[in-house]
Structure 1
Amino acid sequence: MIYRGELVCRQSCCGHHQWAKAIEFVSAKTEEDARQQLHSAFADAWKRRCGECRRPIAIKHLKIIPMDNNGNDLEVEELAA
């Protein structure tokens, strides 16, 4: 399964713009594997930089989104099925 990891900037100067984030994609069998891969991918502070204010985003703001093979986000109901 493909997972998208997003770090959304929480700085007030960004105003939580949609583009104020860092994104990485990983392929993993479980969400825990994806979490470990994303932590490794975002280990470098330069990869965690906001696209708007260029400040590094804390890894605690990591949001993991499962995706299907076409790149569409999976809903929670679809995961249960």
Structure 2
Amino acid sequence: MPGLPLLNEGKGQKMAAPEPAPAPAPVVDINAPAKTRIISAPVRSGQQIYARNCDLIVTSSVSAGAELIADGNIHIYA
């Protein structure tokens, strides 16, 4: 029968199912600040406040000689 040619390629061959790619491990920055420490009392001279692995927010006065230390950001609203 003239007309359309027969296509035999791939007939009878089973294709292997593609293996799913393993899910990439989530990227977690260990040093990223995750919390916020809020201080609402006055920080006096000689006091030391350390906010480990977080931001520090002070909503009161900070006297000269006080130490504010944070692994994240420090905000003072007096």
TM-score by length of 1: 0.22
Which protein is richer in helix relative to its size?
1
Q: Higher relative CO (CA 8 A, sep ≥ 6), structure 1 or 2? A: 1
- Higher-Rg structure is 2
TM-score by length of 2: 0.23
